[in-house]
Structure formats: C-alpha cells, structure tokens
C-alpha cells in the first residue's frame, strides 16, 4: 500500500527535551490505520473522492447501515477493538438476513479529542480481524471530531443474485417459523456484563457476556438458506418484537411456542435459578440470530443445512392468517396457554 513506512513523529516538548508522540491527525490516522484495511483495488487506497465497484451481470447490491453511539450501544470503557467488531457485525448480520454475501463497507467515525491514536489503532485492528473472518473490505469513509460521544456509522453492502434477496414481507400462513443458534444469550449477557446476574458460574457468565459484546453474523447460513426460506430478518430488537415486525409487514400473525425456544447451556443454567428471566430471553435484544419462515416441506433440507454449517436451526412456531385486532405475535406455553409478554423488546427511539 505504501503506507507501511509511515512512522509516528517524535518531537520535543516546549518545556524540555522529553520526547512525546505527536498525534497523527485525521489524514495521518487514515493513512496509517485505515488505508491498510482498504484491500480492494476499487477503494483506491482511500486516496480518492469515492470508491468504484464492479457489479457482475445478474447480481444486485444489498445495502444496509447501522450506527452505534457511546453510552447507548456500548460503554465508554469497552475495548475499542470489540466496539469496532460489533459495529461491523451488526451490519453483516443484516446482509446475512437478506441472503447476501458481504462485499465492503463505509465507515464514518465521530470522535472526541479524548480518543487518542492508540484507541483508533486498536479500533482499526478489530476491524481488520473481522475483515479477514468475513471477507469484506473497507471502501472509504469519513472521520470528524466532535464534542459529543463516540459515534460509529457503518454502511455495508453485499451482493446477491438478481431477485434472490430474501425479504421480511413474504411470510405466508402455514409457514413454520425458525431461529438460528440460541436465543436470549445477549439479554442475559448484558446482565452478566453489568454484574446483575448472581450465583452464575464464572465461565457461563463470561460466555454470556461475550455473546452480548460480539455477535456472530450467520453469513454462510443466511446465504445458503436463501432458496429454502420465504421470509427472513435478523433478531436485533428481541425475538417477540422482531417476529412482530416480520408478521406485520407480511400481513400475517405468528404463534410462538415458548417451550421450543433454543437455549444455550449457560442460559438454561440462569433460567433454572431465575425462571422469571425466561421472558428476557423471549423479548431481549442483540442476539443477531436469523429469524425466518419456510414451507414445512423444506424442514429437512433446512435442518440438514444447519448440521452441515454447525449452526443449530430450530422451529419455534408457525405463521397463521391475520386476525383483525389481535396482536401479531401470540406466545403459547407447552400446554397451549397464551403467555403474556410485558416487555416486547427494544424500541427504537
Ligand atoms: Mg436487522
């Protein structure tokens, strides 16, 4: 790239001879930390006004964006590498939910002056690690200074064959409802990360907190599920709330069987001691698992795919015809009795 030889400048302080590191400044940070992440030739090494992308014939772009704000979506003292990876991964999860293969992303960073070059370096290192894991590249961005909180905005895109992106609004009565992975770990993980879960084995506590801090976008599963599913989205606001979004936009209702909810071993241990937290698993946000519906004829193919990719997929309910004036999601227990869910997930404000 030609940026590898750039060195930190060392100057003398005006009051003596002690050398100190001179801040790199915006352009220095871009050259040193971010240009090496722009591995696609279309990014032009972040030296031009815009990136230039090829789109193969018969393919479509799928584009999504997500912003994270300090104090709201992450804590001020969270490790910068983890903040960066969560910011990127929430976008990759949205692409996976459209059955799109990720390609690249734009990054806009609003940073207070208190975030020094070491913070930015660690942030960029986190991005680089996930770029390698998910085969995406930085294509450009902007960096501004602010008196407000750290704000990270990422716009990501992927590609999908023409007409093959999976939408939310296409669920039909008779479809089965599935989720990937395990549900509720992130809601319990937030409690664990903020020391509000007592009596839990340290290993379980750490595992749950990690599920909150570092989502696992289901990229390979989402792409492979494309031809087998009718409607799909990712779970960011909580299973009940997001299933409500899917049902509403599809013009159908959903019946969710709470006894089928796939729980991790750590979550099951929490629920055994605190049964009241089961509602948090149904309603809590930040799981970033896939929620999808499919024709029952595809169950075996879907389950085989889950085994092949080593991601559990679990049928948790069914889509039914819309009942006027009813809530879009009815949660029932093992006896078929309706369960009232007081908290229905995170609301966007
Ligand atoms: Mg989403």
Could you say which of 161, 194, 217 is where a domain stops? Answer: 161
| CA 64–ligand 1 middle distance (angstroms) | 9
Dist. CA 45–CA 2, nearest whole Å: 9
Say which CATH number the domain at 140 has: 3.30.1330.10
Q: Evaluate whether residue 186 is within a structural domain.
A: yes
CA of 289 to the centre of ligand 1 (A): 10
Q: Which residues contact residue 104 at a Cβ distance below 8 angstroms, ignoring those fewer than 6 apart? A: 40, 42, 43, 51, 53, 136, 137, 138, 139, 156, 157
Cα(335) to centroid(ligand 1), Å:
32
Residue 272 within a domain: yes
What residue numbers bound the domain in which 36 lies? 24-161
pLDDT at position 17, please?
54
Which CATH number characterizes residue 259's domain?
A: 3.90.650.10
User: What separation in Å is there between the alpha carbon of 94 and the centre of ligand 1?
Assistant: 5
The domain boundary, picked from 161, 195, 223, lies at: 161
> How many angstroms does the Cα of residue 241 sit away from the middle of ligand 1?
12
* Mean per-residue pLDDT, 178-197: 93
What is the distance in A from the centroid of ligand 1 to the CA of 328? 18
Please say if the pLDDT value at position 16 is more than 90: no
Query: Is the domain of 154 the same as that of 182?
Result: no
Please count the other Cβ atoms lying within 10 Å of the Cβ belonging to residue 317.
24
Do 113 and 220 lie in a common domain? no
**Domain identity same for 238 and 305:** yes
Q: Is the same domain home to 37 and 140?
A: yes
pLDDT score of 109 more than 80: yes
Task: Tell me which residue of 133, 138, 131, 126 sits closest to 38, measured CA to CA.
Answer: 138
State in Å: Cα 344 to ligand 1 middle: 16
Whether 146 and 191 share a structural domain: no
Instruction: Say if residue 230's pLDDT is above 50.
Output: yes
Residues 300 and 182 placed together within one structural domain of the fold: yes
Q: Determine the distance separating the centroid of ligand 1 and the alpha carbon of 284, expressed in angstroms.
A: 14
Asked if 180 and 157 sit in the same domain, the reply is no
For residue 236, the CA-to-ligand 1 centroid distance in Å is: 6
Is 182 in contact with 215 (CB distance < 8 Å)? no
- 117 Cα: distance to centroid of ligand 1 (angstroms): 32
In 3D, which of 196, 184, 178 has the Cα closest to residue 267? 184
Asked if residue 140 belongs to a domain, the reply is yes
Tell whether 302 and 203 lie within a shared domain: yes
Say yes or no to pLDDT of 101 above 70: yes
Alpha helices in 158-291, H assignment, sequence order? 185-193, 202-213, 219-225, 239-250, 265-273, 278-283
Q: What is the pTM of this model?
A: 0.90
Q: For 35-57, what is each residue's pLDDT tens digit?
A: 999 998 889 988 888 999 999 99
- pLDDT over threshold 60, residue 320: yes
Q: Is the pLDDT of residue 325 over 80?
A: no
* Cα(234) to centroid(ligand 1), Å: 5
pLDDT in the model for residue 20:
54
Residues 122-147: pLDDT tens digits? 999 999 999 999 999 999 999 899 99
């Amino acid at each position: 790239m030609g940026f590898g030889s750039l060195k930190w400048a060392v100057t003398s302080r005006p009051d003596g001879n002690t050398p100190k590191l001179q801040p790199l400044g915006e352009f220095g940070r871009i050259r040193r930390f971010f240009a090496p992440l722009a591995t696609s030739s279309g990014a032009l090494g972040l030296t031009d006004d815009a990136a230039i992308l090829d789109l193969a014939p018969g393919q479509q772009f799928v584009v999504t964006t997500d912003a994270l704000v300090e104090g709201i979506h992450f804590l001020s003292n969270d490790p910068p590498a983890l903040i960066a990876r969560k910011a990127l991964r929430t976008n990759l999860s949205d692409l996976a939910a459209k059955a799109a293969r990720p390609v690249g992303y734009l990054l806009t960073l609003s940073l207070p002056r208190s975030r020094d070059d070491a913070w930015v370096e660690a942030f960029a290192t986190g991005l680089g690690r996930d770029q390698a894991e998910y085969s995406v590249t930085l294509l450009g961005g902007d960096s501004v200074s602010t008196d407000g909180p750290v704000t990270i905005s990422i716009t990501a895109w992927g590609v999908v064959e023409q007409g093959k992106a999976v939408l939310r609004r296409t669920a039909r009565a008779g479809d089965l409802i599935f989720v990937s992975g395990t549900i509720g770990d992130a809601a319990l993980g937030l409690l664990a990360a903020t020391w509000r879960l007592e009596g839990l084995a340290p290993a379980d506590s750490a595992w749950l907190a990690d599920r909150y801090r570092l989502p696992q976008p289901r990229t390979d599963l989402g792409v492979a599920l494309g031809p087998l599913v009718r409607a799909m989205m990712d779970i960011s606001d909580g299973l009940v709330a997001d299933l409500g979004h899917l049902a509403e936009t599809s013009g159908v209702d959903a019946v969710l069987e709470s006894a089928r909810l796939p729980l991790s071993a750590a979550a099951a241990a929490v629920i055994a001691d605190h049964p009241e937290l089961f509602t948090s698993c149904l309603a809590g946000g930040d799981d970033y698992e896939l929620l999808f519906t499919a024709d029952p004829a595809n169950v075996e193919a879907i389950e085989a795919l889950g085994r092949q990719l080593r991601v559990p997929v679990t049928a948790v309910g069914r889509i039914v015809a819309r009942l006027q004036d009813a809530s879009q999601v009815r949660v029932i227990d093992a006896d078929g009795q309706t369960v009232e869910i007081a908290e229905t997930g995170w609301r966007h404000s």
